[in-house]
Chain A
Amino acid sequence: MSVASHLREPLVTGGNPKLADITDAVVAPMENKPTKLWWLAFIPAATLFVLGFSTMGYQISEGIGTWGLNKTVGWGWDITNFVWWVGIGHAGTAISAILFLFRQRWRTAINRSAEAMTILAVICAAIFPIIHMGRPWFGWWWFAPLPNMRGPLWVNFRSPLLWDFFAISTYFSISCVFWYFGLIPDLATFRDRTNHKIKKLIYGIMSFGWNGSNRDWSHYEIVYGILAGLAAPLVLSVHTIVSMDFATSVIPGWHTTIFPPYFVAGALFSGFAMVMTLLIIARKTQKLEHIITINHIDNMAKVVLATGMLVGLAYSTEFLIGWYSGSNYEGFIFFSSRMKGPYAWAYWIMITCNVISPQIFWVRKFRRNMVLVFVMSIFVNIGMWFERFVIIVTSLNRDYLPSSWSMYSPTWVEVLEYGGTIGFFFTFYLLFVRFLPTIAIAEVKSVAAYAQREEHAAAGSTGAAAGVLSPAPAAPKEEASHV
């Protein structure tokens, strides 16, 4: 029998696998002992995690003076890392929500791990604003009224920094709910197949008593749709608001109208790059190449190409406005400070990694070359980190008064803290891969079944006639089971 569509390649390859085969493939890493490769990745990641977080403890006890910031450059690696991580945290919910609303069925193979990535990335992001406060135990005054002699002194709701607090916390909690809501049916799948007593108990608690009832599914799908509908504009709002932290200021290089769409495009760009980095490794090591197919990587490379060019357009628009506005300060930042100034090397790394090198994805052969795509995804991650560094540091280090001009370089504390978040990210991603289904089993099954359904419809058998056409079993087996 031919495949359902001749125009598109099947979403799940490997000769139309049976539903049970999909379950087997996805839960295999949860049932087997971790491989040597897993330990090889886990040990360095966990070490980095512990080291970085100990450094944060040192920084909190000693103070912000342990960082390389000065009066002129008041934001350095801290906010660079924050924006970088938030950007990475965008792809997960974009894949889950926006692609869901556009009925992009290929999302099913990658949405689960992308969502896990989102949650971890947002945690990493949130660490930096918290530790950059210096005294994080006063952090709750971001919300509560400050006690003082005169009365409740509330936070300023006209400030984008406060909007950011609301945006990030909403995004984080909604992403967690969205992710876990999707996990429940798959946790039940694992609960029902494992024979391990402790695992059965734990996954039993975690799966909320799910039993595949259509009464549950019927409302579940609606709720999932609502969550997707909420999360889609939420994704766009988060980086829009992050960009307003800069755009509403009066600093040349930050005071830019194009920032919101520019930041959103950049966030999707870096987010998809990080998803590719992780999935290219995961599909290989977990033997999931028939579920996360080469077409998935191809599609993501196209998204990276498109968003990369949007980012390139934003860069050039900034230059246009720097010239067209006639503002000397704007012009100076873009044409002198960034292109030729002391941090020009960072600027050119950014241009090379974000605008020039992704152009190779115009070629289909390159999009389907896993080694090349992997290397490119790392390039994009580096380029996007430098983008934030360039925006923050090159705008600050050349002040309005040349007497205030200053240079900034990070101390070992900042470097280790950044490393610590990377360690945290990979440590928990690796644990996720070990203990939770990395692929949305139920959703992939519905996609795999989609092809069969079309095939079935094409055969002209619908409704009640289906039973007549399908091979009739000799006689139903009889059995009674009591649970």
Chain B
Amino acid sequence: MSSAVATHDTSDAVSKTRELFVGIFTEEHQLMSVAKDATDSGHPVHDCYTPYPVHGLDDALGWKRSWIPYASFCFGMFGLSLAFGLQVHSQFVDFVPLWKGWPIIIGGKPFLPWPAFIPVFFELTVLCTGHLTVLTYFIYRRLFPGAKVKVHIDGVTDDRFAIALDPESEGFDEEQARALFAKHGCSEILTVEGRA
């Protein structure tokens, strides 16, 4: 197969289409073992494609755990502050200049009854964390309504498992890659073009 020859400028890889060297497997454990083997032996693994999240694949590929939870924590703090500001402002003080608040006595209760504020603290924390976390994920992974599929490999949303090597990266050797795929029971080898 001659199509795997590197022709693109890798420095501009984000915006350009490029070819990927893809091995298709029919079983999850085959993908797991090939992913581990490829990573250990220094093949440039671009990505894997699976019909469902395969647990342990990140470890096999040597990928780090997602950073998104840290962002979520910040969103939660933001939501909590919002709830605090909203309630304290509207019930007690007016810290927005020129927008006078109007504290009202209701049932002789104090102006700052913090236990009564807890439900809204909680709800706004959850609201902000949930929505902003999902939004962050979509923006980070460039997923949005009508987004084009970056790399389309037949059957990976149904019952096939794929591993994609990047032929343009250092350390890619087609012969060795073929041997590696075959060793783990590869059923098909493809060259797929996609926006990587």
Contacts and interface: CB of A to CB of B under 8 A. Distances in A.
Contacts of B129: 226, 230
A208 B158 contact: no
Given A219-B140, A230-B129, A157 B51 contact: no
A2 interface: no
A227 B33 CA distance: 31
Provide the main secondary structure of the chain A interface.
helix
Given A215-B47, A483-B192, A476 B28 contact: no
Interface in A218-240: 218-223, 226-227, 230-231, 233-234, 237
B143 A216 contact: yes
Contacts of A155: 90
B150 A481 contact: no
A379 B148 CA distance: 49
A211 B156 contact: yes
A467 B102 contact: no
A268 to B, nearest CB: 19
Interface in B90-114: 90-91, 99-102, 104, 106-107, 109, 113
A209 B148 contact: yes
A453 interface: yes
B68 A222 contact: yes
A415 interface: no
A411 to B, nearest CB: 34
Interface in A154-184: 154-158, 160, 162-163, 166-167, 169-170, 173-174, 177-178, 181, 184
Contact of B126 (A221, A230, A464, A467): A230
B14 interface: no
Nearest to B102: A151
Interface string A294-319: 00000000000000000000000000
Contacts, number: 266
Nearest to B32: A466
A174 B126 contact: yes
Given A208-B147, A209-B143, A479-B189, A177 B131 contact: yes
Nearest to A192: B157
Given A212-B51, A223-B134, A473 B187 contact: yes
B185 A166 contact: no
B147 A449 contact: no
Interface residues of A, number: 89
Nearest to B131: A177
Q: How large is the interface on B (under 10, 10 to 19, 20 to 34, 35 or more residues)?
A: 35 or more
Given A170-B123, A223-B133, A208 B90 contact: no
A449 B56 CA distance: 14
B102 A212 contact: no
Interface stretch (A40-48, A129-137, A426-434, A438-446): A438-446
A452 interface: yes
Interface stretch (A16-24, A54-62, A341-349, A365-373): A16-24
Nearest to A449: B28
Nearest to A155: B90
A206 B123 contact: no
Given A177-B131, A208-B145, A166 B124 contact: yes
B186 interface: yes
20 contacts: A23-B159, A152-B90, A156-B106, A177-B130, A208-B147, A209-B143, A212-B157, A218-B66, A219-B141, A223-B66, A226-B69, A241-B119, A443-B52, A445-B52, A453-B29, A456-B29, A466-B185, A472-B182, A475-B182, A476-B189
A-B complex: 4 closest residue pairs judged by Cβ atoms: A209-B147, A467-B184, A19-B159, A154-B90
